[in-house]
């Protein structure tokens, strides 16, 4: 008799893949945030890195770098605002 069922293939773990993508995105946004839009990109990098760590990313180094860069974005903004006595800064 012939079997009519399709072979079972394991599904890729999309949750882990999404978390890895978030870790890379947090790193890129944190790095970009050091130059422009650090008020917006810093918190986004922090949130993405924390969510990716919570979901169990394989790329923990990138997630921690994204977290550090997101915090550095906000620190750079605070220092630049303090030095220029304004609520924004430019190069």
Boundaries of every domain in the chain: 15-84
pLDDT given for residue 27 in this prediction: 93
Q: Which pLDDT tens digits describe the chain residue by residue (91 residues)?
A: 556 665 655 555 666 678 888 899 999 999 999 888 888 999 999 999 999 999 888 889 999 999 999 999 999 989 888 888 877 666 5
pLDDT for res 52:
93
What are the structure tokens assigned to 56, written together?
A: 């169990």
Q: How far apart are CA 83 and CA 89, in angstroms?
A: 9
> How confident is the model at residue 65, as a pLDDT?
94
Could you write out the DSSP letters of every residue in 31-91?
Answer: HHHTTS-HHHHHHHHHHHHHHHHHTT-S-HHHHHHHHHHHHHHHHHHHHHHHHHTSS----
Residues 73, 54: Cα–Cα separation, whole Å: 22
């Amino acid at each position: 008799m012939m079997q009519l069922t399709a072979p079972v293939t394991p599904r890729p773990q999309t949750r882990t893949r999404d978390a890895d993508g978030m870790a890379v995105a947090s790193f890129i946004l944190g790095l970009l945030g050091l130059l422009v839009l650090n008020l917006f990109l810093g918190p986004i990098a922090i949130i993405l890195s924390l969510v990716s760590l919570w979901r169990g990313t394989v790329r923990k180094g990138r997630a921690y770098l994204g977290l550090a860069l997101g915090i550095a974005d906000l620190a750079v903004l605070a220092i630049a605002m303090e030095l220029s006595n304004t609520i924004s800064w430019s190069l």
